[in-house]
Structure 1
């Protein structure tokens, strides 16, 4: 019985940490993509490629989680 409780607490802890990490990385990616709305950053040719890479990565991640 104690082993099952230990496994349950461990599972809850891992789930909480994974959700926290995903939330932080999502907020960072949203702020990263929002930073591309200025004219100076759109004028740089390499920046749009990075933005598309971030959007594509998160769309693939959300598709896998469904």
Structure 2
């Protein structure tokens, strides 16, 4: 049996702040959190990391589908 969930992370790149995280029908305010910014890198870029930490003695699997990046959505 598969469980599917919708996640949406909104980020304000101009002000280097997280805005909100939406998981299914629940919205979490993230506006008090700053983005990690590395001034040593010349170009701006975004990096997404999606990972699964498996339980001991299990071979857990996670499927990821429909990853979408957008800009200027506040």
Shorter-chain TM band: under 0.3
Higher helix share: 1
Larger Rg: 1
> Whose RCO is larger (CA < 8 A, sep 6+)?
2
The structure carrying a bigger strand percent of its residues is 2
TM-score w.r.t. length of structure 1: 0.22
The alignment's TM-score, normalised by the length of structure 2, stands at 0.21
